[in-house]
Amino acid sequence: MSPGPWERCFWLGGLLCLSVGSSGHAPPTPQPKCTDFQNASLLWGTKLKVQFLLFVPSDPSCGHLVEESSDIQNSGFNATLGTKLIIHGFRALGTKPSWIDAFIQALLHAADSNVIAVDWVYGSTAVYFSAVDNVVKLSLQISRFLRKLLVLGVPESSIHIIGVSLGAHVGGMVGHFYKGQLGRIT
Ligand SMILES: *[C@@H]1O[C@H](CO)[C@@H](O)[C@H](O)[C@H]1NC(C)=O
Ligand SMILES: *[C@@H]1O[C@H](CO)[C@@H](O)[C@H](O)[C@H]1NC(C)=O
């Protein structure tokens, strides 16, 4: 028997009903929610709040926030496919790159692969020099992230880094940390 509306509430001071459940039935399998790029317009680029967003061929418009190896495995990452990692550049206004959605879709349309967008909007905003200051730190963070893919059995040669503008410098530095063993850097 499904609970009636009152069972979904608890009463506060006899006046307010706070809903404690959704009104519909729960879907049979919980879908991981999609995560978008952050907005950093009001903050000034001192923090490097990096997000790694995984996009897979079965759901090319939904970014899965992946941090730990378990997130990667549970979000449809396929270790037998190639992995493309996109790194954007300086973001003067702290906003999401306007080209990135279409670019992700185009990559997934061209070939089945794992596409990972690196959201470093926070660290890439404010003045150009503060974004440049974050390049080494970001490169180390991406290198640590790639290590988690290697642990899942991803060969270094199947990793393709695509860096734009300042993100290209980051890509080059990650490639340096991997001693030139990554598959490709664009
Ligand atoms: C960022 O700002 C845009 C434009 O105002 C908005 O559409 C989007 O939902 C915001 N994203 C997040 C994660 O808050
Ligand atoms: C991973 O990709 C390969 C090659 O396209 C495919 O044969 C396999 O079924 C995929 N694995 C999963 C779990 O989707």
Q: List, for residues 62-102, the tens digit of each pLDDT value.
A: 999 999 989 999 999 999 999 999 999 999 888 999 999 99
Kindly report, residue by residue over 17-58, the tens digit of the pLDDT.
444 444 445 445 555 689 999 988 655 556 789 999 999 999
Q: Does residue 43's CB lie within 6 angstroms of at least one atom of ligand 2?
A: no
* Structural domain harbouring 24: 1-31
**Ligand 1 atom nearest to CA at 38:** 13
Place of tokens 């906003």: 95
Question: Which residue's CA is the nearest one to ligand 1's atom 9?
Answer: 36
Give the ligand whose atoms come closest to the C-alpha of residue 40: 1
| Ligand 1 neighbours by CB, cut-off 6 Å | 36, 38-39
User: Is 144 domain-assigned?
Assistant: yes
Q: Give the number of domains in the chain.
A: 2
Question: 81 and 160: one domain?
Answer: yes
**Ligand 1 atom nearest to CA at 37:** 13
Q: Comparing C-alpha atoms, which of 145, 116, 128, 121 is closest to residue 47? A: 121
CB distance 87 to 163 below 8 Å: yes
Question: 24 and 67: one domain?
Answer: no
Kindly report, residue by residue over 126-176, the tens digit of the pLDDT.
888 889 999 999 999 999 999 999 999 999 999 999 999 999 999 999 999
User: Is 42 domain-assigned?
Assistant: no
Q: Does residue 78's CB lie within 6 angstroms of at least one atom of ligand 2?
A: yes
Question: 118 and 147: one domain?
Answer: yes
E-state strands within 7-70: 9-12, 16-19, 51-56, 59-65
